[in-house]
Chain A
Amino acid sequence: MPPPIERVLSDWIASGARGIGQILIAEREGEFTLCHRDDEGRDGLAARNSPNDAVEIAKFDEEGNYRPLKTAPNLRRGWCLELPDISALREALDFFYPGRLAALLAWERNRLHPTPLRETLRRQTGMYRVAAHVTDGEADALVSRFCRSQGGAPGCLRTILWARDETKARPSTRLPLDKFIAPGDQTGRGEQVIPLLCQEACNLLVAEAQRVVKAE
């Protein structure tokens, strides 16, 4: 029996999901070809065929800058990746979008318990301890700027599942409502896709919150 993540992935594709994040997934007789969604139908893509190639493709953006956040909407174009089966697909997606399939599986099984932003900040120690002093207003602006699906800095294609605090308030009132509703196509194309879920503020956001507090 295939591992549960591979079953979930197969189910999503079988039910019509066209891709994940900025990646288009095309299936033919159990084999998969991935490319950037903006490269759909384009000729002359550099063909690769190992899941490990995803590591290098995902590492730098179009300008050659390192991508610290893999779900940021700056995946480079010009490549295609041919994969022989579902387990190779899973491996490649774990490199393109690390940890997202595990979160998806937990979500589908009602076992994903998002952590409110305040709890994440309170848990920090060392240099990030001060991040807890960020005000709700500052956090609202920060999340809006940092996590925005399009036009953010750097922006991020995940759907936010965590609340601001125990009141379950949304962490940012400035983001469109669908930033918080999965599954949705955060690229704005309105296609059926496998969602990239954010169950807890990432370390990059925590580091930004620390910077906001220290700048005061």
Chain B
Amino acid sequence: MPARLDAALLIAGHGSTVNPDSSAPSLAQAQAIREQEIFREVACCFWKEEPSFRDARLFFDGPEIRAVFVVPNFISEGYFTQTVIPRELELAGRLTTRPNGQLWKYCAPVGNHSAVTDLLLQRAREIAPGVPKSETSLLIVGHGTSLNDQSAVAAKREVEKIAALGRYASVQSAYMEEPPLIADWVSLTTAPNVVVVPFFISDGLHSYEDIPGLLGIEREGDTAAGARAIFQRSPHRLHDRNLYYASALGTAPEFARIILEQVAAFDEAALDLAPIAETVISAHS
């Protein structure tokens, strides 16, 4: 990506008040992008951590920064991308002009990017190296049920794309809180090998404990290191199957590139839509 020294990048993540690993992917991707020296500034902000979305309104003070790209580090559109982030950052739509003339460009969430499918496939390959796909069922696990959350829809969309490739014996989405339940993985799958990839941005309680619990994997020790070790112990031999359990999709370093592509996609879409900023607002809102 060419340098954009008149622009800043703001990565908006969920964060957590209990899980120290929640903000790690956003911080790591921000650092990776910072090192590429594309933007004048790169910052993160979080709903549940500091700096808050509200704090971020105060960032990027300086006349040299003409544009701020906001990329939600979320797995799908939903309550956070459509309600919370615009409200807290005071965004008027896809394009917002601040009183000082700075343009805030609200990009699509990372999970919307078409490359997510390749990353899912890569995750699945890495966790089960050399295991024939034709003898493997792939399960993509989402949360399900939460408020206006479209992650279940996004997970289904990925399933359809991967199933169409015809590489795996079966591909399916499953959820923690709504059917098809991940707890029913044995009956949901038929192949001797089962690969489970959590469709989340970061590792945390869901990927360390909840999903392993629902799959029937036993925990080792009570420490944080013990929790993380769960991803190193595949395959788990359960119900006469080989179960391969991967860490959350969003921890893949490739997401830094997806963030940059969402920035580029914003400008391309804006060019297609109309040359005038105001028109872009009405086209998106």
Residues of the B chain whose Cβ atoms lie less than 8 Å from the Cβ of A94: 43
Q: Are A98 and B51 in contact (CB under 8 A)?
A: yes
Chain B residues proximal to chain A, CB less than 8 Å: 16-20, 27, 31, 41, 43, 45, 47-52, 54-56, 58-59, 61-62, 79, 83-84, 87, 147
- Do A4 and B51 contact each other (CB < 8 Å), given the known contacts A55-B27, A66-B20, A204-B17? no
23 chain-A/chain-B pairs, Cβ below 8 angstroms: A3-B62, A4-B61, A52-B31, A59-B20, A66-B20, A68-B17, A68-B49, A69-B50, A71-B50, A98-B50, A99-B45, A99-B52, A99-B56, A102-B59, A103-B55, A103-B58, A105-B61, A112-B58, A115-B54, A125-B87, A126-B79, A200-B54, A203-B52
| Beta-carbon nearest neighbor of A69 in chain B | B50
Number of A-B contacts (CB under 8 A): 69
Least CB distance, A23 to chain B, in whole angstroms: 15
Q: In the bound complex, how far is the Cα of B83 from the Cα of A127, in angstroms?
A: 13
Q: Are B18 and A68 in contact (CB under 8 A)?
A: yes
Q: How far is the CB of A136 from chain B (nearest CB, A)?
A: 22
Chain B residues contacting A70 (CB-CB under 8 Å) are 50
A132 → chain B closest CB, angstroms = 14
Cα–Cα, bound, A200→B54 (Å): 8
A residues within 8 Å of B by Cβ? 3-5, 52, 55, 59-60, 66, 68-71, 94, 97-99, 102-103, 105-106, 109, 111-112, 115, 123, 125-127, 199-200, 202-204, 207
Q: What is the CA–CA distance of A133 and B62 in the complex, to the nearest angstrom?
A: 39
Q: Tell me, rounded to whole Å, the shortest Cβ–Cβ distance linking B177 to chain A.
A: 15
A66 to B45, CA, bound (A): 18
- Chain A residues lying within 8 Å of B41, measured Cβ to Cβ, are 3
A17→B41 CA distance, assembly (Å): 26
Q: Nearest chain A CB to B251's CB is how many angstroms away?
A: 16
The answer to whether B61 touches A5 (Cβ under 8 A) is yes
Q: Could you say which residues of chain B place their CB within 8 Å of the CB of A66?
A: 18-20
In the bound complex, what is the Cα–Cα distance between A202 and B15 (angstroms)? 13
Q: Is the CB of A99 within 8 A of B51?
A: yes
In the complex, which of the residues A3, A97, A99, A112 has the most CB atoms of chain B within 10 Å of its own CB atom? Answer: A99
Contact in complex: B17, A4 (CB < 8 Å): no
Q: List 4 additional A-B contacts (Cβ < 8 Å) besides A99-B51, A111-B58.
A: A99-B55, A126-B79, A126-B83, A127-B147
In this complex, what residue of A is CB-closest to B17? A68
Chain A residues closer than 8 Å to B31, beta-carbon distance: 52
Question: Among the listed A99, A199, A207, which residue makes an inter-chain contact with B50, where contact means beta carbons less than 8 Å apart?
Answer: A99
Whole-angstrom CA separation of A103 from B45 in the bound complex: 14
Q: In the bound complex, what is the Cα–Cα distance between A204 and B46 (angstroms)?
A: 12
Q: Which 6 pairs from chain A and chain B are nearest by CB?
A: A99-B51, A99-B55, A68-B17, A98-B50, A98-B51, A102-B58
Task: Chain A residues near B27: list those with CB within 8 A.
Answer: 55
The CA-CA distance from A126 to B27 in the complex, in Å, is 26
- Chain A CB within 10 A, most for which of B41, B49, B83: B49
For A109, the chain B residues whose CB sits under 8 A away are: 61
Q: CB distance A60 to B20 under 8 Å?
A: yes
The residues of A that contact B87 with a CB separation of less than 8 Å are 123, 125
| A125 near B18: Cβ-Cβ < 8 Å | no
Say yes or no: B52 contacts A202, CB within 8 Å.
yes
Nearest-neighbour CB distance to chain A for B10, whole angstroms, equals 12
Please report the C-alpha to C-alpha distance between residue A7 and residue B51 in the assembled complex, in whole angstroms.
Answer: 21
